[in-house]
Each structure stands twice: as C-alpha cells, then as structure tokens.
Structure 1
C-alpha cells in the first residue's frame, strides 16, 4: 500500500473531493498574533462534526497559474491540494484535505511539499491559505509547516452564517526571511 502524489487533471481532482474531509469540533480557538497555537485560549462548544460539502466548493478555474495535486492509494484518491497564483503574488493553497481514515500518515506533508515546490518553481515569494478557528488540527499542522498567522477576520463568515463563532485565519509562509 504505497501512497503516490500526482499532478492531477481537474477530473481526478474533483473525484478526490469525494473523500471524507470532515473533522470534529469541540472548541473554538481565540487566535493571538505571535503566540503558538497550543497557547491560544480554547472556548469549549458542544461537539459536532464539520464537513465541507460540494456547495462549499468554488468550482475552480484551473489554468497555467495553478496546480492540482492528488494523493493516490491503490488507485483511489485519498487526499488533494490545489495551489494557485494569488492576486498578492503568493501561492494560495485551497481544497486541502486528506481522507479521514488516512490522516496522520504523512500524506498531508507530502501534498504540502508538492505545492511548495510548485510555488518555488513559479518564483512565488511564499504560500498563503485560510482556515478557521474551529479547526485546531489544521492550525497546528500549518504552524508545524512554518506558516505564520498573518490575519484574523471575525466577520468573514457572518454574511453566510449570521451569529457564527467561526473566525477566518489567514496564514503565510514566506520563502525568504522577513525583516
């Protein structure tokens, strides 16, 4: 059972999106700039499972300014990641997920390394992404990869879900040392 990471065509990338990317939420984090995720205040909530359905997808406009990667296990997709050239010059990571039953085996790391290599080949200054304060596992993963919290938006999701406690967190991984 060997996992391979492939540069994917849109059809395979969409097929990989049918995996179970859900995660359990038992708290919301209160993000703080310059503080490790492990030290962020946890605000407990009634546990629930968060899942991104097809309605949460943007359909993706893939071109030469983007790359799609899929993790394959025995000819079945078990993870995926897209990276596109964002308006600010950074590579924007999106649609990043590993099937629930295949997590913690290094697949996410391998997908991330492919996206990082692509961004460097494109001459981009770094990578960026957005996640939420209810996805503790993702926040810790991005921090381990060297990302820094660059922005917090408390109102980002309220137009879609009034009263939500989700906060958008914008992470950056500059390739060059920052002054």
Structure 2
C-alpha cells in the first residue's frame, strides 16, 4: 500500500467519486453520474468549509477510494469535538485489498490530530458486510439512527 496517496479531492476527481457512489444497489438509485452539476457545487461548498474533508485514495494516478470526514464542535461530552465519517467507497476492483482499512485509519488519525474525542459513522441497515468491517476496526453499534427526507 506504499503506492497509495490519500489526499483532498479536487474538482477533477468528482466524476470518479460519483461513479463509486453509484456503484452499488443503493447508490444506483440515488446518484446521477451523467450530470456532475450538483456534485461540483457540493464539492465547492465542502472545499470552502475547513471542517469538511472530502478525500480520495489514489494509486497510479487513478482514484480508487473516497470518504468524507466532518469535524463537529459540540457542547455534549464536556464540549467534545467529534468527527463523522461518511460516504466511504472503494473501487470494485480494489475491494478486499485493505484500502478501506487504510481510509478509515486515515480518518481516525486525522480526527485525533484535530482534537476529536469521538469518531462516529452511520451505515445503511442493509449493509451487513460494512457493519462487520466497521466492527473489526473497533467501532461499536451503539445508536439507532433516524432520517427525514426534505
């Protein structure tokens, strides 16, 4: 994995990121890789916010993984700063290579570096393999999540 670079995503990486987001049954229903307009606007909002870290894993000049890390200051837990990991994706031909572990390790280390006392994430209830993956990395299923579509 020494040939892997984890770096902030640039606008030129958005197509590859959206393609990975769309490359599963859930993402295929939610994403529109043929129209990058909303994704490029979202990327700009993320790039302008110092608490947002949209990252890509690159090997041989090819985007092979991505995640978003959000740092959130708060009052609970004695004013603890926490981070949220979102949209973890690994390119289909890289799955099982250890890349997902490397991405999560990067996010946890960056969270520590930024003074976070808690790292959290959510995973769709149907993603049993992802749940086992996160548990192997030390995450514990501790809450029930709710969403309200607007």
Which of the five TM-score ranges fits, normalised by the shorter chain?
0.7 to 0.9
Number of residue pairs aligned between Structure 1 and Structure 2? 133
What is the deviation of 1:3? Answer: 4.2
Equivalent residue number for residue 42 of structure 2: 59
Q: Is residue 94 from structure 1 mapped to residue 86 from structure 2 by the alignment? A: yes
Equivalent residue number for residue 62 of structure 2: 76
Greater CA drift, 69-78 or 119-128: 69-78
What is the deviation of 1:117? Answer: 1.1
Equivalent residue number for residue 26 of structure 2: 50
What is the deviation of 1:15? Answer: 3.6
Structure 1 runs (4+) deviating above 4 angstroms are 54-58
Task: Return the structure number with greater strand share.
Answer: 1
The alignment's TM-score, normalised by the length of structure 2, stands at: 0.73
What is the deviation of 1:64? Answer: 1.9
1:18 aligned counterpart, secondary structure: helix
The alignment's TM-score, normalised by the length of structure 1, stands at: 0.63
- Gap change, CA 1:137 and 1:116, over 3 Å in 2: same
Equivalent residue number for residue 8 of structure 1: 8
Q: Is residue 109 from structure 1 mapped to residue 101 from structure 2 by the alignment? A: yes
CA distance in 2, matches of 1:86, 1:150: 19
- Gap change, CA 1:67 and 1:53, over 3 Å in 2: same
Q: Is residue 151 from structure 1 mapped to residue 137 from structure 2 by the alignment? A: no
Structure 1 or 2, whichever has the larger Rg, is: 1
Higher relative contact order (CA 8 A, sep 6+): 1
Contact 1:81 1:97 in 2 (8 A): yes
Contact 1:16 1:80 in 2 (8 A): no
- Flag structure 2 segments of 5+ consecutive residues without an equivalent: 75-80
What is the deviation of 1:119? Answer: 0.5
Contact 1:15 1:77 in 2 (8 A): no
Task: Return the structure number with greater helix share.
Answer: 2
